[in-house]
Amino acid sequence: MALERTSAGAAAPTLRDLETPCLVLDADRMDRNIARLRGRLAGFEVSLRPHLKTAKSIEVARRVMASPAGPATVSTLKEAAQFAAAGVRDMVYAVGIAPAKLARVLDLRAKGVDLAVVLDTVEQAEVVAAVSRDASAAIPALIEIDCDGHRSGVLSTDAERLVAIGRALGQGAELRGVLTHAGGSYGARGESALRQCAEAERRAVVDAAAVLRGAGLACPVVSLGSTPTAHHATDLAGVTEVRAGVFVFFDLVMAGIGICGVEDIALSVLATVIGHQREKGWILIDAGWMAMSQDRGTAKQAVNQGYGVVCDMAGDAYPDLIVADANQEHGIITVRPGSGASLPDFAIGDRVRILPNHACSTGAQHRSYHVVRGVSDVVEAEWPRFGGW
């Protein structure tokens, strides 16, 4: 079904008209989530460069970016190309650059897109500089800084490597600045720990910028971000921009850390009841891991939400009702063990909405968003999503 926004007179489809499983986006919740981070960052001298890897949608991007031209962050060159085609002109491709990808970067830059790359080795910097020289087109690069040991990046204390990368870029490319991501904050618990993650993130990237500047290198951009730290930073001195992605939709992992409430989660998967195993207290639905993803990000949290939390058609969660197990196209709903909650009496054909553990991974299982607002079941629009690389 390809829906355009319906006019007032047409019979608008509702959630009951959709094929299941499918992805539902509550635009009221999304709008509130976007306004909340914007409001929080308004108190700092930073710009917001939203990470569009969560949404992979032009319609969502336009609602979250400061302007139709950006700025934005992307995780693949496919995203860069799709958003460029929609008019975005200022992007950072925030995954360490591979040499074979530079031809596509140059191609987008030649079309007027200011696409910057990210790297953390002298080898990469030398290749980017050489390709820039060959093309007579300086590719801008940010040096990735490791603020918490969770993945890639240079330590801000490794002045030798930082400066060597900066100087290598200077041979034809452009040192645009430094960038970090506090991925470790997803494992933090409590306000105090989250504030510490945010300050460690800031400190790492500000220190790295100081190292580069101390060596006489320009470092205009000082970029950091993750949804948990963006919502907990108390000081952003020296930072020029904040990146975050999942704040747009939120999810059960974010609720588990305490960044949002379950009632703020804007994404859900619409599913249909297809069976029961009454002796076992199971309800079977047609949303398995293909519809929910296999992200079990809450399994390590205080409350394990299985494959997702079961809501009614208005998006309100049933008490302690979760998708406890999943096969490819089957989900098994149960009450949370030990909760004492009772299983609702669903009939075959009844519909539910399932809140996801991880908005990025559940979203990636679907080709479009079906857009509703609040408790209304009217589907206002269908917004395409893209995937791939």
Distance CA 88, CA 240 (A): 20
Contact status: 327 vs a copy of itself (CB under 8 A): yes
Interface with a copy of itself, residue 1, by CB under 8 A: no
Among 15, 21, 84, 198, the residue binding a copy of itself under the rule CB under 8 A is 21
Among 236, 332, 354, 359, binds a copy of itself (CB under 8 A): 332
Pinpoint the alpha helices (H) of the chain.
27-41, 58-64, 77-85, 102-110, 122-135, 159-169, 191-214, 227-230, 252-257, 289-292, 359-363
Residue 98 binding a copy of itself, by CB under 8 A: yes
From the list 24, 83, 120, 372, which residue makes contact with a copy of itself (rule: CB under 8 A)?
120
Q: How far is the CB of 371 from a copy of itself (least distance, A)?
A: 17
Part in contact with a copy of itself (CB under 8 A); list of ranges 1-9, 160-168, 213-221, 270-278: 270-278
Give the orientation angle of helix 159-169 with respect to helix 191-214, to 10 degrees: 60
**Closest by alpha carbon to 118, among 101, 95, 137?**
95
| Distance, CA of 66 to CA of 7 (rounded, Å) | 28
Sheet holding 221-224, edge to edge: 47-48, 241-242, 221-224, 174-180, 140-145, 114-119, 90-96, 72-74
Q: Where do the H-state alpha helices sit in 145-271? A: 159-169, 191-214, 227-230, 252-257
Mark the segment that binds a copy of itself (CB under 8 A) among 226-234, 257-265, 268-276, 306-314: 268-276
Contact 286, 272 (CB under 8 A): yes
Of 70 and 245, nearer to a copy of itself (C-beta) is 245
Give the whole-angstrom CA distance, residue 183 versus residue 171: 31
Dihedral, 114, 119, 125, 130 alpha carbons, nearest 10: -50
Region binding a copy of itself by CB under 8 A among candidate stretches 63-71, 107-115, 335-343, 363-371:
363-371
* Residue 130 in contact with a copy of itself, rule: CB under 8 A: no
The answer to whether 28 contacts a copy of itself (rule: CB under 8 A) is no
Q: Cα(125)–Cα(313) distance, rounded to whole angstroms?
A: 52
- Which of 236, 130, 255, 138 lies closest to 180 in space, CA to CA? 236
Residues binding a copy of itself: number (CB under 8 A): 60
- Which of 36, 78 has the CB closer to a copy of itself? 78
Task: Tell me which stretch binds a copy of itself (CB under 8 A): 148-156, 220-228, 307-315, 372-380.
Answer: 148-156
Closer residue to a copy of itself (CB): 19 or 160:
19
Is residue 364 within the footprint of a copy of itself (CB under 8 A)? Answer: yes
By CB under 8 A, name the one of 174, 295, 377, 380 that touches a copy of itself.
295
Q: What is residue 190's three-state secondary structure?
A: coil
Q: For a copy of itself, which is the closer residue by CB, 136 or 389?
A: 389
Minimum distance from residue 39 beta carbon to a copy of itself (Å): 27
Q: Which residues bind a copy of itself (CB under 8 A)?
A: 19-22, 53, 75-77, 95-101, 104, 119-121, 123-124, 127, 146, 149, 151-152, 183, 272-277, 280, 284, 286, 289-291, 293-296, 327-330, 332, 347-349, 360-361, 364-367, 387-389
